Amino acid sequence: MTGTLGKGMDVKGKRVLVVGLGKSGVASALFLESGGARVTVSDAKSEELLRQEIPALLDRGISVETGKHGERTFRDQDLIVVSPGVPFDVPPLQQARRLGIPVIGEIELAARFVSGTIVAITGSNGKTTTTTLAGEVIASGGAKTLVGGNIGTPAITFADQSSPETWVVLEISSFQLESIETFAPHIAAVLNVTPDHLDRHGSMENYTAAKSRIFENQTADDFAVLNADNEITAAMATGLKPQVYWFSRIKEVERGAFVRGGDIVFRGPKGEQEIMPVAEIPLKGAHNVENVLAAVVVGALAGVEPAKIRRAINQFKAVEHRLEYVATIHGVQYFNDSKATNVDATIKALESFPGNIHIILGGKDKGSDYSVLNALLRQRARRVYTIGAAAQKIESQIGDSAPVTSAGTLEVAVRKAAQMAEEGDVVLLAPACASFDQFNSYEQRGKAFKEIVQDLAGHARGQGSAD
């Protein structure tokens, strides 16, 4: 990589601060250092908590500040790059902007250096499944495809892997969209907007505004993909510059994908094209029909033929930690939906099973209203097991909608559910909360759930009763 890092941005010899040492922060720091920048990283977490990330940075001569954000650290910079986990309005960043120091996010950094055609997908729920599926659909058409962003691989990593022919498919969070300036995807999709991250955004209006920024820099040559069945996303179409395409599970749309007579149909400039029967979708739940419809629109706009779209969907496997089947023990099925980090995702998980559910709820509260779960809990839950910091709030808001066991930890919850569940029941981890009180990520929480279940299965196999 040369010192001139695209779109008029040259960091060679410049002092650059990267704030936050998550995956994207580490990737940004390493990328900037390889471009000749004098890089410092700053994270308020302790050195002990960051011991896995620090060695790779020190090996490259990157300065590391932990345990605080030093005032001077933020003053003495030519550019500041903020990881998505760091609120964009913290006092040190506000001070830096007052001093005239440019402050951008990792996704904006990537936007200036990644080549090729960018597809960006956001929404309160379904982002990861839809992004992964859309990547596989586009790849089935023969294009070189890279998939990452808020999942897996940080977008900045693709700067050295992409070419003008590459399709770069990115999951984008509201946190990442807060800090964009020039980011302009060719195809941008908002799958749905329901209450989430209100602890950070402060209101639904702010959260919705952050999501809608995904269309901000698009032109009339670009495409916006919107859910016609979600009131908030439907309203986003007003005044947009890009061409709007819709997806809908319940009605026909003028342009986009919809369900008619049990079949998925895409309607575009070439007229109507039948894609596949809904019955062929290999994923559980009505919400996954919406995710597939969105991926169909993205694939069609990318020029993929209907037969190839169908084949890619048929071959798709559920993404880890999203309604992921784990095991059957003593006739009880165990499902890992650790990615259900908000109430709406938990509603979708509950709706995926007819009843007899033992559901594990709790973690770090995000300012959610758990009472909206009550009707479904009454209909479908045999028992609720609460864990983590949000347990007391959840218990107070769900009242007597289902029997409650205060489990405290995930392991206690799984083992108590295993004791209480009977043949034909489902044990479901769909916590409606973030993981950061007891785990580093929803992935770590999901893996812990699976390890506990596999331990139970191992014991059951010894008794000849696990599938």
Task: List, by residue number, the catalytic residues.
Answer: 127, 150, 197
Q: Both tokens of residue 399?
A: 């009242």
Tell which wins on pLDDT, 466 or 157.
Answer: 157
Q: What structural domains and CATH numbers belong to the chain?
A: 15-105 (3.40.50.720), 114-314 (3.40.1190.10), 324-462 (3.90.190.20)
For residues 122 and 191, the answer to whether their CB atoms sit within 8 Å is: yes
Instruction: Kindly report, residue by residue over 140-171, the tens digit of the pLDDT.
Output: 999 999 999 988 799 999 998 999 999 999 99
H or E segment at 171? strand 167-171
pLDDT digits 0-9 by tens, 375-429: 999 999 999 999 999 999 999 999 999 999 999 999 999 999 999 999 999 999 9
Query: For residue 152, what pLDDT is reported?
Result: 78
Length of the chain: 467
334, 453 contact by CB (below 8 A): yes
Q: What is the DSSP string of 370-403?
A: GGGGHHHHHHHEEEEEEESTTHHHHHHHHTTSS-
Closest by Cα among 208, 169, 203 to 190: 208
pLDDT reported for residue 46: 87
pTM of the model: 0.75
Contact 135, 182 (CB under 8 A): no
Q: How confident is the model at residue 4 (pLDDT cuts 50, 70, 90)?
A: very low
Distances (CA, A) of 221 to 120, 121, 142, 185, 218: 15, 18, 23, 11, 8
With tokens 């008794």, the residue in question is: 463
Angle, vertex CA 179, rays to CA 63 and CA 59, nearest 5 = 20
